[in-house]
Structure 1
Amino acid sequence: MCRWLAYCGTPILLDELLYKPKHSLIDQSLHSRLMSDQQTTNGDGFGIGWYTDPAVEELDPDETPAVFRGVEPAWSNRNLRDLAAHVRSSLFFAHIRAASPGTASQETNCHPFRCGKWLWMHNGEINGFTEVRRDLMLAVDPTLFPLIDGTTDTEVMFYLALTFGLVDDVPGAVERMIHLVEATAMKHGVAKPPLLMTLAVSDGFRIWAFRYATEGKPPSLFYSTDPVALQRLHPENDNLKLLSAETSLVVSEPLNDLSADWTEVKPNSYLIIENGQDQINPLTAKPA
């Protein structure tokens, strides 16, 4: 399974989180600690997405985020290292990929995915995706269908959520997407629990983070809305000392060994982060 992080708050250089912490996302690409399937490397590509306005509250509502993705392992991509040291953002996503069996390592399959102002990334899988893929894709709004470029379950989930009203109701759209996936898996007799996932979604102003499993334990997910936690990562770093109280971070696994700095997102719930405030709500499947 994959690893990811989502940041919002005081504009910082991306490498402050991608490279510099002890257990940074780049370190996790080689040495993940919390992978549920015991896989420790995520070498099937990477991606970053960021909003370029220096202040989230002044973001042009029509602005689209920038995206940079590649199929190489994140730890060896020199362009990613250089870009991360020069791009400063107040809201960004970063993702390192471990491809599901049978899914190609290609750029169009790397996260995050973008549609208009929206960013979407995922860790987990739709079990039996090859059996249910056709039915799920046929449920995508015909006007959105041509925008699907890759072959992943993640991208199909994104366009289903857009079909189900993501633009107006993010949690509701995700709950309706979950219901369709589970109902379609049941229809096709998929033996395993159909859905394991963590998701991150943003419109450039807020971050929604979801943790869900049809059965059993979903992939790990943690958050911190305390800038002091980030400052502890590198107490010598003057840039991190400037973080505002509105700074927040959501991660697949913590970036350091200080467990008190991180709060676990409970299974089958979702987190909304806006202006440094967090709100947790239950997450359930709901019919469209």
Structure 2
Amino acid sequence: MCRLMVYLGDPIVVADLVTRPSHSVMKQSFAARERLTGGPGYIPLSINADGCGIGWYAREVERKDGDVTPGIYTSISPAWNDVNLERITPKIVSPLIFAHVRAAMVGTPVVQMKCHPFSIGRYMWMHNGEIGGFSALRLPLLNALRPEVAQKCPCFESDTAVAFAVFLNQLDDPMVQLAPTALAPLMAATIATIRHVAVQNGRGDETSMLNFVVSDGRTVVAARYTNATDEPASLHYATGSAFRRKKEASADFRLEYHDKRSRLGLVASEPLTDEVADWAQVPPNHMVVLMHSEGSFVDTLVLPIDCESPEVQDHVTRCFRALDQSIADNAPQALQQAPGGIPRALKRPSFATGEDVPVATAPETIFEETGQSVLSVAADGTRVFSGSPAGTIHVFDLQTGKLLHTLDDHSHAVFSLAVADGRLFSSSMRVVNEWDLTSPDGAARARPRLLSTRHHSDGDVLALAAAKGVVIGGPRDVSIHVEKACADGVTQNSEATVGEQKGELVRARALLTDALTGGHVSTVYAVVVRGRWLFSAAGDAAVKIWDLDAGKHKASLYGHAGAVMALADVQKQPSSGPDADAQKERSNGSDAATSPSDGQEERSDAPDGGFWLLSGGRDNSVRVWDTDTRECVRVLKGHADDVLALCGGFGGRFYSASADGTIRAWSTATWSCTQIFHHEDTVPLAIWPTERGVGSGAADGKVRSWLVDRK
């Protein structure tokens, strides 16, 4: 058993991942916390002393003669005692980094040719675990390879190297880069081949731990697999905007969040930081896919390795097809950026329009500045609430824009806010807080009172929706949780058991999802609840419909090319219905379609048809869905960048906010854009409707309200 780490994102100094953090891979060479024994033949759990290695890809600007092969450094020295590792890691800057420390079985040779990572052509590979019964399977596995692949196997005595050869045997040329979504099926096929050979040779019952990691220089696939009933070897993942020191010269690093989109992905045997809330555990027998998408952001997928469900296979296929459409050919741009660059969300957006649409550049009100980027906003009629990356919630007077209160009960970024029934709900790292907005003395400006703190199992809660009696959160671990709100007058500040005890409404995590039960395979970015129906949107390019009463997935809506970042619902207007099938918009035929779950034939199970569902994505479009027929009836275009937020409005309007620096007002009667609100030099990250127009929270830290032209 070993420890490993892989990074994909903006270029970073290798030492900031491998040697400097308080629980870096180098530190894990002598102080591992989660390593399995691997049996009696292994050295103590905390020690991984039988060699170390790093691998990296050069930035495009630094490549000589088009060389796309990775750089590799390996050593048989323990990582903690390898002076050359300490010397070179501060000098290397890369957007894609592997690191590995080895723990060999007693009696296994400690030689450099067995040290990870391995590389052939443009591909790099490493492994934590073992192939059960490898001594008996080595020859059958090698005999199954093409001769030219077998000759390239880095080490016939290493199960990791032979597994790498099995992977490469599926490729025509190891110098050719495949589509980003092609590596995951190849990883699954590699594991299936190893298991098939084991069964054929009478070794199927021997335990294999196959935590493989592979990359072609653009995409990363990391698997967590075992054929045993016990837990596989540990594997965690994290995403964010930047990975930096908390303080200068400190060994404490942290993940920073500037908006919901990620600029980096990390996968590691153990978390590299002490902030365990930053990390989510890879489910057993799943794999994580990290890949660059448009604008140098990083998409993350969590996929089952071995799944026979046609519904899940169909969803993954549609997801891959949509993401392949959205993968930018400008991925090398990410490789050319300097380390520590400013995230695009904070850069000056480009905006131009030749449309005959009024453009407003001056907001009606700019609220009192707080100096912190605004990730989320909500309002209750008299007050506006904004969430920041620092974990604070600012409370403003809606009419004057004055700051009333600062709530600092969250310790991490506040990703989402929702108001319902006199309550404010706020989400952060593994936490959803519930606040009482009512005041015993009726004071309109009273400080909100914290009622409860709900803890989630894994990851940041990026999406939040609230309705009467329930709060719904979508953590980064691709699940959706439905919980009961606190009863009036009840304060519940501990993680309670599921159910109802002593009249207190407590935690009720009955829902919902992983890929095997119809769920998303990527981060949930948005949720909307309407009656018994829940709608969710995620990085897998899908919108899903759930029946809250039954706790089941009912349908999936496809059509976006890329992650779906925002959802909203708007009431149907008498004149807003599309004419007929001629006006229905579908992209690429069957992709803009509905995928039903089992038992969906009864249309009485559908949500009522009295509203439109809106979805906005990283394909710059807004889609309008008929929730009765579950068909896309309109595709609204005009934004020049990602659609980050949506909200319904007054007077038959709704609003969309984009990374192009604009908010667009749309008419539900004509489905046309009626006005544009331009944020100069910044990006609106969150919006809410006002009686006079729309409000926005932006990356420059300002909360604004905009007056809509009612002509």
Give the TM-score normalised by the residue count of structure 1. 0.89
Q: Tell me if 1:236 matches 2:248.
A: yes
Q: Of residues 41, 45, 48 in structure 2, which corresponds to 1:42? A: 48
Assess, with a 3 A threshold, how the Cα gap between structure 1 residues 207 and 191 changes in structure 2: closer, same or farther: closer
Deviation string 1:53-72 (CA, Å, 9 cap, x unpaired) is 1579x999751111011111
- Matches of 2:49 and 2:205, distance apart in 1: 26
Deviation string 1:89-136 (CA, Å, 9 cap, x unpaired) is 111101001124543211111111101111111101001100111101
Look up the match of 1:206. Answer: 219
Q: Tell me the amino acid that sits aligned with residue 278 of structure 1.
A: T
Look up the match of 1:27. Answer: 27
- Range moving further from structure 2, 60-69 or 148-157: 60-69
Look up the match of 1:76. Answer: 81
Look up the match of 2:462. Answer: none
Aligned counterparts, 1:263-274, within 5 A: 263-274=280-291
Measure how far apart 1:207 and its partner are: 1.1
Q: Tell me the amino acid that sits aligned with residue 266 of structure 2.
A: L
Look up the match of 2:12. Answer: 12
Q: Of residues 107, 112, 119 in structure 1, which corresponds to 2:124? A: 119
Assess, with a 3 A threshold, how the Cα gap between structure 1 residues 249 and 61 changes in structure 2: closer, same or farther: farther
Look up the match of 1:249. Answer: 266
Aligned counterparts, 1:58-137, within 5 A: 63-137=68-142
Return 5+ residue gaps in structure 1 as ranges. Answer: none
User: Are the aligned partners of 2:255 and 2:278 in contact in 1 as well (CA < 8 Å)?
Assistant: no
Measure how far apart 1:249 and its partner are: 1.1
Q: Of residues 183, 193, 197 in structure 2, which corresponds to 1:170? A: 183
Secondary structure, aligned partner of 1:186: helix
- Flag the structure with higher helix content: 1
User: Are the aligned partners of 1:179 and 1:285 in contact in 2 as well (CA < 8 Å)?
Assistant: no
Secondary structure, aligned partner of 2:211: strand
User: Are the aligned partners of 2:240 and 2:257 in contact in 1 as well (CA < 8 Å)?
Assistant: no
- Matches of 1:282 and 1:212, distance apart in 2: 10
Measure how far apart 1:215 and its partner are: 1.9
Larger Rg: 2
- Matches of 1:8 and 1:84, distance apart in 2: 16
- Matches of 1:82 and 1:5, distance apart in 2: 19
Measure how far apart 1:226 and its partner are: 1.3
Q: Tell me the amino acid that sits aligned with residue 5 of structure 1.
A: M
Secondary structure, aligned partner of 1:90: strand
User: Whose RCO is larger (CA < 8 A, sep 6+)?
Assistant: 1
Measure how far apart 1:15 and its partner are: 0.8
Secondary structure, aligned partner of 2:20: coil
Q: Which runs of 4+ in 1 moved over 4 A?
A: 58-62, 237-245
- Matches of 2:254 and 2:94, distance apart in 1: 13
Assess, with a 3 A threshold, how the Cα gap between structure 1 residues 89 and 249 changes in structure 2: closer, same or farther: same
Give the TM-score normalised by the residue count of structure 2. 0.38
Q: Tell me if 1:224 matches 2:238.
A: yes
Assess, with a 3 A threshold, how the Cα gap between structure 1 residues 60 and 249 changes in structure 2: closer, same or farther: farther
Q: Tell me the amino acid that sits aligned with residue 9 of structure 1.
A: G
Look up the match of 2:614. Answer: none
Measure how far apart 1:88 and its partner are: 1.1
- Range moving further from structure 2, 268-277 or 123-132: 268-277
Q: Of residues 248, 263, 277 in structure 2, which corresponds to 1:260? A: 277
Give the percent of matched residue pairs that are identical in Structure 1 and Structure 2: 33
Q: Tell me the amino acid that sits aligned with residue 74 of structure 2.
A: R
Secondary structure, aligned partner of 1:143: helix
User: Are the aligned partners of 1:11 and 1:54 in contact in 2 as well (CA < 8 Å)?
Assistant: no
Measure how far apart 1:247 and its partner are: 1.7
Aligned counterparts, 1:152-191, within 5 A: 152-165=158-171, 168=178, 169-190=182-203
Measure how far apart 1:241 and its partner are: 9.1
Q: Tell me the amino acid that sits aligned with residue 195 of structure 1.
A: S
Measure how far apart 1:256 and its partner are: 2.1
Assess, with a 3 A threshold, how the Cα gap between structure 1 residues 63 and 191 changes in structure 2: closer, same or farther: closer
Secondary structure, aligned partner of 2:147: coil
Secondary structure, aligned partner of 1:213: coil
Deviation string 1:168-224 (CA, Å, 9 cap, x unpaired) is 532222222222222222233227434212111111111111111112211111111
Measure how far apart 1:25 and its partner are: 0.9
User: Are the aligned partners of 2:118 and 2:154 in contact in 1 as well (CA < 8 Å)?
Assistant: no
- Matches of 1:176 and 1:122, distance apart in 2: 16
User: Are the aligned partners of 1:113 and 1:121 in contact in 2 as well (CA < 8 Å)?
Assistant: yes
User: Are the aligned partners of 2:241 and 2:256 in contact in 1 as well (CA < 8 Å)?
Assistant: no
Return 5+ residue gaps in structure 2 as ranges. Answer: 38-43, 293-297, 309-711
User: Are the aligned partners of 2:19 and 2:26 in contact in 1 as well (CA < 8 Å)?
Assistant: yes
Look up the match of 1:139. Answer: 144
- Matches of 2:225 and 2:198, distance apart in 1: 16
Equivalenced residue count is 283
Aligned CA RMSD, in angstroms, stands at: 2.7
User: Are the aligned partners of 1:9 and 1:243 in contact in 2 as well (CA < 8 Å)?
Assistant: no
Q: Of residues 303, 309, 317 in structure 2, which corresponds to 1:281? A: 303
Q: Tell me the amino acid that sits aligned with residue 131 of structure 1.
A: A
Q: Tell me the amino acid that sits aligned with residue 107 of structure 1.
A: Q
- Matches of 1:212 and 1:83, distance apart in 2: 33
Q: Tell me the amino acid that sits aligned with residue 159 of structure 1.
A: A
Look up the match of 2:579. Answer: none
